[in-house]
Structure 1
Amino acid sequence: MLLYTATGALIGLIVGITGVGGGALMTPALLFFGFPAHIAIGTDLWYAAVTKTSGLFAHHRKKHIRWDIALNMTLGSMPAAILTGLALSIWFENPESYASVLKTALGFMLIITATALIFRSRIVKALGKRNPGKTERNPAFSLRLLLTGAILGVLVTLSSVGAGAVGTAVLMVLYPRLLPKQIVGTDIAHAVPLTFIAGVVHLYLGNVDFALLAALLLGSIPAINIGAAISGSIPSKYLHPTLAGLLLVLGMKYAIF
């Protein structure tokens, strides 16, 4: 278990420095160690729910969260996560029989996450020139949020990836007037209940290793705080492209091969 604690610490440090979602790094790491896809994804969802909860309270205290947006997305994502779990339990006899589905979804989401990281700065610059007006008050926009949440609910349940980087990219496009801290806070407010309910779904399916989870959290929780504290002194212009390239390669590996 010492190896898994050290892995949790390393990934926690990277997450604290770069802000890249832990799921995009943790699930491939667990697969590398030989864990089955269903255990890696189910355990990582609980890891994400626990590690993001402290961030949720911090952003709430600082009033960085647009709860109306987070609620609309959650109303779409939570039912979708539950239905995805039911579909897996009905259509497949055991976790091993849907391993290929999980790995393909993981690869797909890693590619999307890498793309979001690569083009995030360009998206910010492009949206900064737009004048979105009152779009966010349009009732159809709530429907878009519900649909976006539903899509994320399915994909995050299947892959454990996307609630962070992909959710943030979507909010940046839909709400270009929100401040970066509001984007992050709102995304976390949606990601916590989504990863929690998806984790419960995988617990029901028997896909969670709590001893492994404890070892990962033991290393990652202090490391995330250390990473966040030193992040300002470490240039991100090299770290983000490197991580994006790594995630892109891993995504192609799981999606294609």
Structure 2
Amino acid sequence: MPSVDLSWLMIVAGALVGISVGLTGMGGGALMTPIMVLVFGVNPTAAVGSDLAASVAMKPVGAYVHHKAGTVRWDIVKWLLPTAVPAGFAGAWLISLFGEGEEVQHRLELAIGAALLLALAGMVARSMLTRRRNALPSTEPTRLKPVPTLIVGLVGGLVVGVTSVGSGSLIIVMLMLTHPRLRAQELVGTDLVQAIPLVASAALGHLLFGDAKIALVGTVLLGAIPGIYLGAKLATRTRDDVLTWILATLLLGSALSLWGAPGPVILIACGALVAFASFRMFAVPALRRRREAAGAGAAKASGHTATDPDADADPERSEPTTRR
């Protein structure tokens, strides 16, 4: 039986991942690595290295669009890189110490699954933090915090080097925690720019240790490059909350699959997350608008009574009383 050519499916997957990365700064390693492992049967070590190599060519496209739009905080980028770049290379070196055995690959699958769950937690935190950040005074400037930024680079770089997950998912969330007044577009643009040397360092480590498939990288890029350009264009003019929750659901399903969870468990967990996301996106805003409308109506009625208590009184009856 002839084998089926799945390269076009990989191109489509690359395009979808590229759109996700350009639009939200998330979904590169968090989606592409599990897709390679679960859908295309690539061994985890090669999937990590191939995804990082693809990101080296993919992320500059989105970074260029954000740079032209003025949504990159270069001061933050300069403080992320001193720790992120060496940590990314160190993560690739750590993988090489464990060898290529079947047990090692299984453990790496578990590590990738853990990183995906961490990215999922980060996405949920980002959704919660966005509301808090938008409530902060917009006139107050966003100040650079050097030491926390260096720590973000160190932690994020190490996770990226080991699992290829986190250059967007984790680092964006950590930047939100350390710099809560950054605009959403600045978070995505800054992350895409810092990710270029970070993933280049990690990819170099993986290429040196021989666990990246160049042919696979080229196939992914055929879809990913136009995808990330389109996503970055959309990022400067659209909301990303719906896509963020879709990505979160995919992350949860991928992580549980890598951990060997039964199908019904995966479906129930993903269904619960979809229900929670729907409540957050639709029910909560509707309740808030209804409460605000009721409050505005009560305030209007109260103001009317306080400023003109006799407005409903009969002027002909009140006039004689005044003359007396």
Q: Answer yes or no: is 1:125 the counterpart of 2:131.
A: yes
Q: Answer yes or no: is 1:48 the counterpart of 2:55.
A: yes
Distance of 1:71 and 1:152 partners within structure 2: 15
Distance of 1:149 and 1:222 partners within structure 2: 28
Distance of 1:78 and 1:116 partners within structure 2: 21
Structure 1 residue aligned with 2:246: 242
Structure 1 residue aligned with 2:122: 116
User: Is the Cα contact below 8 Å between 1:4 and 1:216 reproduced in 2?
Assistant: yes
Structure 2 residue aligned with 1:175: 179
- The match for 1:184 among 185, 188, 191 is 188
Give the SS at the match of 2:198: helix
Give the 3 Å change call, closer, same or farther, for CA 23–67 of structure 1 in structure 2: same
User: Is the Cα contact below 8 Å between 2:142 and 2:181 reproduced in 1?
Assistant: no
1:135 shift after superposition: 8.7
How large is the Cα RMSD of the aligned pairs?
3.0
Q: Name whichever of 185-194 and 121-130 sits farther off.
A: 121-130
Structure 2 residue aligned with 1:147: 151
Q: Percent identical across equivalent pairs? A: 33
Structure 2 residue aligned with 1:209: 213
Give the 3 Å change call, closer, same or farther, for CA 48–95 of structure 1 in structure 2: farther
Q: TM-score, normalised by structure 1?
A: 0.84
Give the SS at the match of 1:46: helix
Q: Which amino acid aligns with 1:83?
A: A
1:67 shift after superposition: 1.9
Structure 1 residue aligned with 2:72: 65
User: Is the Cα contact below 8 Å between 1:70 and 1:189 reproduced in 2?
Assistant: yes
Give the 3 Å change call, closer, same or farther, for CA 255–147 of structure 1 in structure 2: farther
Q: How many residue pairs end up in the alignment?
A: 253
Distance of 1:115 and 1:62 partners within structure 2: 29
1:18 shift after superposition: 5.6
- The match for 2:43 among 19, 36, 39 is 36
User: Is the Cα contact below 8 Å between 2:122 and 2:169 reproduced in 1?
Assistant: yes
Give the 3 Å change call, closer, same or farther, for CA 237–216 of structure 1 in structure 2: same
Q: Name whichever of 218-227 and 144-153 sits farther off.
A: 218-227
Which structure has the greater CA radius of gyration?
Answer: 2
Structure 2 residue aligned with 1:27: 33
1:229 shift after superposition: 6.0
Q: Name whichever of 145-154 and 26-35 sits farther off.
A: 145-154
1:126 shift after superposition: 1.6
Distance of 1:228 and 1:143 partners within structure 2: 29
1:74 shift after superposition: 1.2
Give the 3 Å change call, closer, same or farther, for CA 148–93 of structure 1 in structure 2: same
User: Is the Cα contact below 8 Å between 1:76 and 1:145 reproduced in 2?
Assistant: no
Distance of 2:93 and 2:242 partners within structure 1: 42
Structure 2 residue aligned with 1:102: 108
Per-residue displacement from partner, 1:42-65 (whole Å, max 9, x unpaired)?
000111221111122222333322
Give the 3 Å change call, closer, same or farther, for CA 96–157 of structure 1 in structure 2: farther
Distance of 1:131 and 1:226 partners within structure 2: 32
Structure 2 residue aligned with 1:166: 170
User: Is the Cα contact below 8 Å between 1:105 and 1:255 reproduced in 2?
Assistant: no
Distance of 2:237 and 2:185 partners within structure 1: 19
User: Is the Cα contact below 8 Å between 1:12 and 1:219 reproduced in 2?
Assistant: yes
1:226 shift after superposition: 4.5
Q: Name whichever of 40-49 and 67-76 sits farther off.
A: 67-76
1:78 shift after superposition: 1.3
Which structure is higher in helix share?
Answer: 1
